[in-house]
A and B are shown apart, each in its own frame.
Chain A
């Protein structure tokens, strides 16, 4: 996003009631037409709510914000969500960024017995690791691989019929190759969302090339039904751009893999 520090300050002033009528009109006209400024509005609202909750706003600003944005349905919802996040933070502390070796060094320094305990634990773990490795190497989880085309590049002409993907108890994961639409330029990375009409789950790509993105979806939480995948390209500045279209498929529970319904989609059990 290309919003400047000046725009950030301007949006903040807008939300805190510091602008004249003319200035307010100008910023709102820009909000209607400039994507970056509109994004900045969304970010600034979140930050101001955070400051409001932490009592970091001046009294007059606090009052204005409460009587205007926070009085709207949207403001009230976001305020409630910020309070929920605050309450969650207390019960679910953020992961500590301290490197593991520093923590280990501090432990050994203060607790000499830890060296002996760590040595025995390491031995047990090596033995257990070898055992588990041997077991998993013998029975790798089965995966089902298939390709999907975007609804943009492959519009259906008749009734909606999506490729059927067999879901057997042996299948541990789906390896889905999503073909990129022709006009999409190569990006650093991609994120994929899986929508089962009840919830949306996010996955990081496993790999990608110029034409496709591979995503691996564990099957343990999947059930029979229609699924829709959506792709997001992650730009260099960390922002995301949705790739037009969706990738749909139907998961069909079976103990035996069946042939995909659409000949353009290929699938194989590994």
Chain B
């Protein structure tokens, strides 16, 4: 790999290592990258995307050796590299405290407006489900979700996943609006 970062050729080799089928390799690459980002985020890294890309670049720099010698699931090799990068990125000085978002901040108010619009883009059943799912607190919340799952004739776990998927779509919709508002 040259010093300016991975070349197209190196990247193509990485994809071939992941899967001989280029489409499947692309999917596999995206999957691995997303998981690295999520793991760095779970560990509280502010720059999770950059750390994931650094990890991938390190793997690409070893691609010739890996192609010849590595045996096993490539995702686990990425993880091993990512862990080393994480340990190396930890600074001896304490991290700056990031203030949590203020519920009355313009940022949250703007998000509420976009969320409201994005809810209207869901089907009525999905919109009602999301709003009902987040009703109530504590014990009442648990009873409410149990009732919703029974009404939909699905398990409570399936209900959690269903709502999580609707949330992901809402988040994508909000991200699109945020990007559009930034020009």
Contacts and interface: CB of A to CB of B under 8 A. Distances in A.
Contacts of B83: 25, 28
Interface in B147-179: 147, 151-152, 154-155, 157-162, 164-165, 167-174, 176-177
Contact of A1 (B79, B100, B161, B176): B161
A78 B42 CA distance: 12
A102 to B, nearest CB: 15
B152 A238 contact: yes
Contacts of B38: 31, 38, 41-42, 74
Nearest to A232: B165
Contacts of A43: 160-161, 164
A227 interface: no
A203 interface: yes
Chain A binding surface SS class? helix
Interface string A1-37: 1010000000000110000000001001101110000
Contact of A39 (B134, B137, B164): B164
Contact of B44 (A67, A89, A193, A240): A67
A70 B167 contact: no
A87 B169 contact: no
A80 B111 contact: yes
A70 B164 CA distance: 18
Interface residues of A, number: 61
B41 A33 contact: no
B103 A86 contact: yes
30 contacts: A1-B157, A1-B161, A14-B42, A32-B36, A32-B78, A38-B35, A45-B42, A56-B138, A69-B42, A69-B44, A74-B37, A75-B41, A76-B98, A80-B101, A81-B170, A81-B174, A83-B108, A87-B103, A87-B109, A87-B112, A89-B131, A97-B132, A198-B176, A199-B173, A199-B176, A200-B176, A202-B122, A204-B123, A237-B161, A238-B161
Interface of A: 1, 3, 14-15, 25, 28-29, 31-33, 38-39, 41-43, 45-47, 50, 54, 56, 66-81, 83-89, 92-95, 97, 193, 198-204, 237-240
